[in-house]
Amino acid sequence: MSWAAMMLVGLVIDALIGWPDALFRKIGHPVTWMGALITWCEQRLNLGGRLPRLLGGAVTVGVVCTATAIIATALAWALPGGFLGVVIGGVLAWPFIAVRSMHDHVEAVAKPLVAGDLPGARFAVSMIVGRDPAQLDSAGIARAANESLAENTSDGIVAPLFWGVVVGLPGIAVYKAINTMDSMIGHRNERFEAFGKIAARLDDLVNLIPARLTGALFALASGRNCPRAFAVMRRDAKSHRSPNAGWPEGALAGALGIRLSGPRAYGDHTVNEPWVNGSCPDPKPVDLMRGLSLYRRAMALMGLALLVLALL
């Protein structure tokens, strides 16, 4: 049974309909189910000093990954053979792929930004980034949204599909569990620095290959700007604060001819980060639309790659 074909089915379903609100209201979403288990563990295990918190975080990672793997493996074993199994497997993979959601969230920023509605664009960008939207001008909003587009294309789409192709349903589900733990507990603050350390490092590890694949997809999808996109990615990715995010951000910045990363404000403090493609100008509102267009072409390439793998 072709895992690549299953992932292609899931990708197509999500691109067409996303995760409908009516379905979410009725049954929730697998990520929210994972989140409930992570919260349950955190409330009971994130206690004491650094070492107990570190051990509690390790236990949380083990519990969440094991529970997810057991359920996903049981479902995979229960699949029928042939075409029907591929379709059902694709439906089961569908919730872990965020291609439609990613596009819709960034488009919700781009439309008011292009129209000159800064309050609307600030509100929309606050849904996808953690920095203070009140301190963002038009260029800052376009920069933040393009960075989110680049990084979350890797985390939310390419990485789950990659692990789904490699390991099947257990791969895509366990990856999503790891990524959800990183989002919830992988923070560098007093509460989570020790407790979420293992989850954060594990997330870095499972995203090493997908982040570079995402950068390659953006570069290949950029047409005549492909050499520049690859050059910026290779040059600047290593100076990024994240071991992975710099690869898709570098490719996107090079493809669009803009600069990304750099200083950003979080609440009452500013974080000074090196620029990606720093010799180029800040993005304009139209560059966010261009980023979305590049994203759509990259996702089409992703689908084509899955089709080729499925046929092989």
Residues 166-207: tens digit of each pLDDT:
999 999 999 999 999 999 999 888 899 999 999 999 999 999
Structure confidence at residue 272 (pLDDT): 78
Q: Helix or strand or coil: residue 242? A: coil
- Tell me the backbone φ, ψ of residue 136, rounded to 5 degrees: -95, 125
| pLDDT, position 199 | 97
Question: Which pLDDT does position 205 carry in this prediction?
Answer: 97
Position 264 scores a pLDDT of 73
Query: Per residue in 262-300, pLDDT tens?
Result: 877 666 667 778 899 999 999 999 999 999 999 999 999
Q: Phi and psi dihedrals of 244, rounded to 5?
A: -120, -40
pLDDT digits (tens, 9 = 90+) for 65-75: 999 999 999 99
Q: How far is 171 from 163, CA to CA, in rounded Å?
A: 5
Element counts in the chain: helices (H) and strands (E): 15, 4
Give 43-47 contacts, CB < 8 A, sequence gap 24+.
45/195, 46/185, 46/191, 46/192, 46/195
- The three-state (H, E, C) secondary structure of 158-216, written as one string: HHHHHHHHHHCHHHHHHHHHHHHHHHHHCCCCCCCCCCCHHHHHHHHHHCHHHHHHHHH
pLDDT at 131 over 80: no
Query: What is the per-residue pLDDT across 89-123, written as a single tens digit (0 to 9) for each?
Result: 999 999 999 999 999 999 999 999 999 999 999 99
* Torsion (CA) 8, 11, 17, 22 in degrees, nearest 10: 110
pLDDT per residue as tens digits for the range 143-155: 999 999 999 999 9
Q: What is the pTM of this model?
A: 0.94
Domain residue spans in the chain? 3-311
The pLDDT of residue 294 is 98
